Amino acid sequence: MARRIDRKSQPVRRQARAQGRAGQVRKARATTTGLLDQMMNALPFTEQQWHRFFIALIVAVALAALVALLQVTGLWAVGQAQAAQVAANAGFKVEKVEVRGTRRLNPARVYERALAREDLSMMLVDLEQLRGELRAISWVRDARVSRQLPDMLVIDIVERTPHAVLRRPDRLVLIDETGRELDPVAPREVGDMLVIEGEGAQAQVAALGRLLESAPALRPRVSGARWVGNRRWDLTFNTDQRLALPEGAERAAGALISFARADGMHRLIGGEALAFDLRNAPRMFLRAPGHAEGQAERQLDLADQGDT
97 within a domain of the structure (yes/no): yes
pLDDT of 50 higher than 80: no
Residue 274 has pLDDT above 70, yes or no: yes
What's the mean per-residue pLDDT of the chain? 80
Which strands form 96-100's sheet, in the order they lie side by side?
96-100, 152-159, 140-148
Q: Quick one: 132 and 78 in the same domain?
A: no
* pLDDT tens per residue across span 101-145: 999 999 999 999 988 877 788 778 889 999 999 999 999 999 999
Using N-to-C axis directions, what is the helix angle for 249-266 and 205-213, rounded to 10°? 40
Select the more confidently predicted residue: 78 or 162: 162
**Quick check: 307 pLDDT over 90?**
no
Tens-digit pLDDT profile for residues 164-185: 999 999 999 999 999 999 999 9
Q: Supply the pLDDT for residue 288.
A: 80
DSSP string, 147-205: EETTTEEEEEEEEPPP-EEEE-SS-EEEE-TT--EEEEE-GGG-TT--EEESTTGGGGH
Q: What is the pLDDT of residues 243-273, one digit of tens each?
A: 999 999 999 999 999 999 999 998 999 998 9
In residues, how long is the chain? 308
The pLDDT value recorded for residue 92 is: 64
Note the pLDDT of residue 91. Answer: 46
Please tell me the distance from the alpha carbon of residue 302 to that of residue 80, in angstroms, as a whole number: 75
Asked whether residue 236 falls in the same domain as residue 153, the answer is no
The reply to whether 271 and 141 lie within a common domain is no
- Single out the residue in 127, 159, 191 at which a domain terminates: 159
Q: Where are the alpha helices (DSSP H) in the chain?
A: 9-42, 47-73, 75-89, 107-114, 127-135, 205-213, 249-266, 302-307
pLDDT of residue 109: 92
- Asked if residue 11 is part of any domain, the answer here is no
Paired strand residues for 275: 242, 287
**Over residues 52-79, mean pLDDT:** 63
More confident residue, 24 or 65: 65
Q: Does a structural domain hold residue 40?
A: no
For residues 164 and 106, give the distance between their C-alpha atoms in angstroms, rounded to a whole number. 20
Same domain assignment for residues 173 and 290: yes
Q: Which residues neighbour 181 within 8 Å (Cβ) at sequence distance 6 or greater?
A: 138, 166, 173, 174, 175, 202
In a domain, 12, yes or no: no
pLDDT, average across residues 66-95: 55
Listed residues 121, 141, 159: the one ending a domain:
159
Residues 99 and 185 in one domain: no
226/270 same-domain check? yes
Does 281 lie in the same domain as 208? yes
Q: Does a structural domain hold residue 193?
A: yes
* Statement to judge: residues 123 and 195 lie in one domain: no
- Please compute the mean of the pLDDT values over residues 36-50 and round it to a whole number: 61
Radius of gyration of the chain (CA): 40
Residue 212 three-state SS: helix
Number of domains composing the chain: 3
pLDDT at 37 over 80: no
Claim to verify: residue 172 and residue 303 sit in the same structural domain: yes
Nearest-angstrom CA–CA distance, 220 and 217: 7
Residues 74 and 105 in one domain: no
- The reply to whether 81 and 168 lie within a common domain is no
Asked if residue 113 is part of any domain, the answer here is yes
d(CA 286, CA 294): 9
Residue 221 confidence (pLDDT) above 70: yes
Amino acid symbol at 301? D
By mean pLDDT, which of 30-44, 133-147, 233-247 is the weakest?
30-44
What's the CA gap between 276 and 170, in Å, rounded?
29
d(CA 162, CA 182): 8
Please, are residues 89 and 83 in contact by the beta-carbon 8 Å criterion?
no
The confidence band for 17, taking pLDDT boundaries of 50, 70 and 90, is low
Is the pLDDT assigned to residue 300 strictly greater than 90?
no
Q: Which domain holds residue 83?
A: 46-90
Of the ranges 84-88, 90-94, 190-194, 211-215, which one carries the lowest mean pLDDT score?
84-88
Asked whether residue 172 falls in the same domain as residue 301, the answer is yes
